[in-house]
Chains A and B, each alone.
Chain A
Amino acid sequence: MDTFTPLPATIGGLLIGLSAAMLWLGNGRIAGISGIFGQLLPPARTVAWRLVFLVALVAGTFAAASLFPALGNRPASLVGAPAWFAPGTAIWVGLSGILTGFGTKIGNGCTSGHGVCGLARLSKRSFVAVGVFFVVAILTVTLTGIV
């Protein structure tokens, strides 16, 4: 299952938008996962809802995978490091995680916070952030030859 899948993509996108809409209109919170995750760290004041949301996120993925296994979206593994990177996949994946954690922290958001919520709020900062991280990610994929 590695081809273009417009219908499941659209349905999944609607669900993600619905989730962000619920969290906003119900609790007044932005569904930005890097923020929800990053503020589990001290000095975190409102840890309870963040933990509940993240545990439910995992459960929702698990439930959907159990209900719709035919979609074939369950990855067997993470993508391995490119062949030229001698230290191997574990180190490569760790570097990717550190850069993502650091970048989303100082940039105040990721694909969900800036991408979904920020664009919907017509935030200038989010338009800049989304433009920058998409272009850099596309360049990174091209230059590393990971695919």
Chain B
Amino acid sequence: MTRPLSFPYLALSAVAGLTFGAGLYISGMVNPLKVLRFLDFTAIPSGGWDPSLAFVMVPAVVVMFIAVRIGRRREKPLFASRFHEPEFTRIDAPLVLGSAIFGIGWGMSGICPGPAISLLAFWPQDLLIYLLALFVGSYGGSVIIPSGRDKRLAVAH
């Protein structure tokens, strides 16, 4: 039985959110221009390329990798009944197409969903337009592939 409304569960969600938000600011990834300067590989020959994003990703993945290893030795997480690990493993068209479409959106602005939310702390012009559009796009995706996650999970079994 999951207890998604229990105090420790929600408190941990809050602490994790605070930590994530602080990480996005300190790393500089909250700044779309800094992200774009990583994605701009044409700046490599001139020495103007900013590799910072890679220095964010690697330690983040390493820490999470250790957590996943620890989790594999445990039956369930501390405050919930199970690990919500995606079980669907097939490389399918929605995965590749969706990731490509996301890549276009990301490259156009340097904004991905995490920084988009955390930018609310600074309220820059046009952010609300982005967030509204993010919501609309996400809803559109769920309409085109209705409850796709559940159906494809069922296929995986």
Contacts and interface: CB of A to CB of B under 8 A. Distances in A.
Nearest to B97: A106
Nearest to B66: A21
Given A5-B52, A79-B36, A102-B141, A132 B96 contact: yes
B147 to A, nearest CB: 8
A75 B24 CA distance: 12
Given A114-B99, A136-B107, A58 B121 contact: yes
B45 interface: no
B141 A65 contact: no
- The B interface, classified by DSSP as helix, strand, loop or mixed, is helix
B124 A76 contact: yes
A18 B63 contact: yes
Contacts of B65: 119-120
B113 A103 contact: no
Nearest to A71: B26
B23 A13 contact: yes
A57 B20 contact: yes
B100 A78 contact: no
Interface residues of B, number: 122
A23 B13 contact: yes
Given A21-B66, A22-B16, A125-B89, A144 B60 contact: no
A60 B118 contact: yes
Interface in B111-157: 111-114, 116-122, 124-127, 129-142, 144-145, 148-149
20 contacts: A12-B23, A16-B23, A21-B67, A23-B16, A24-B67, A31-B16, A55-B14, A60-B21, A61-B24, A78-B124, A97-B136, A100-B116, A110-B102, A112-B113, A116-B64, A125-B95, A129-B99, A133-B106, A140-B108, A146-B107
Interface of B: 2, 4-5, 8-10, 12-34, 36-37, 39-43, 50-53, 55-68, 70-71, 74, 76-86, 88-91, 94-114, 116-122, 124-127, 129-142, 144-145, 148-149
Given A12-B56, A140-B107, 20 more contacts: A16-B23, A28-B81, A28-B82, A52-B17, A57-B21, A59-B17, A61-B25, A65-B122, A76-B124, A79-B36, A90-B129, A93-B111, A101-B136, A104-B113, A107-B94, A107-B98, A116-B57, A124-B89, A137-B103, A141-B42
